[in-house]
Amino acid sequence: MTATTGPISLLVFEAADCLMAIPASEVAHLEGSDPLFTKIENWAAFDLDTYFGGRESDGPWLRWGRGSRSAWLRVRRVVDVVPVALSVLTPMPALFRRQLRTRAFLAAGVRGEDVFLLLDPARLTS
């Protein structure tokens, strides 16, 4: 198996007063801000403002999926899709990986003047 050396596309969004990103290839759908459809659809759903910041968001929902796992992620706003080389990402310190809420972050990256956290939605817990 060979490692990916080229850039990957990351969807950058704002949630909990922070810029976060997930691989754009894992975003299956972008939905409006209606909070009720997640109950009707019966999917796992995480309002990331509530999860990390303690207050509810009124932003759009992203449908994230990887293999058989999927969830709805509510963000404050979608910022952009940007190419980022994996080599420029800095792994999160072990201290953060041990904490319940922050273990969902794999790495930090810089794009221009913006710092973002690479989120692994598979690590979010109810």
Residuewise pLDDT in 10s, the chain (126 residues):
455 568 999 999 999 999 999 999 999 888 776 655 555 456 788 999 999 988 888 899 999 999 999 999 999 999 999 999 988 999 999 888 778 778 999 999 988 888 999 999 999 987
Give kind and range of the element (H or E) at residue 77.
Answer: strand 77-85
Spell out a b/e string for 77-97, using b for 16 or more CB atoms within 10 Å of the CB, else e: eebeebebeeeebeebeeebe
Looking at the structure of the chain, the number of domains it has is 1
In a domain, 50, yes or no: yes
Q: Which of 112, 122, 123 is nearest to 12 (CA)?
A: 112
Q: Structural domain of residue 32, as residue ranges?
A: 7-123
The pLDDT, as a whole number, for residue 42 is 62
**Residue 33 and residue 8: Cα distance in Å, rounded?**
27
Q: What's the DSSP call for residue 54?
A: S
In a domain, 40, yes or no: yes
Backbone dihedral angles phi then psi of residue 6, each to the nearest 5 degrees: -80, 175
In a domain, 89, yes or no: yes
In a domain, 15, yes or no: yes
In a domain, 1, yes or no: no
The pLDDT, as a whole number, for residue 1 is 44
Task: Output the CA–CA distances (angstroms, integers) from residue 27 to 62, 65, 75, 78, 102, in the order listed.
Answer: 7, 6, 13, 12, 21
The pLDDT, as a whole number, for residue 26 is 96
In a domain, 26, yes or no: yes
In a domain, 115, yes or no: yes
Rounded to two decimals, the pTM is: 0.85
CATH code at position 67:
2.30.30.40
Residue type at 45?
A
Residue type at 53?
G
In a domain, 2, yes or no: no
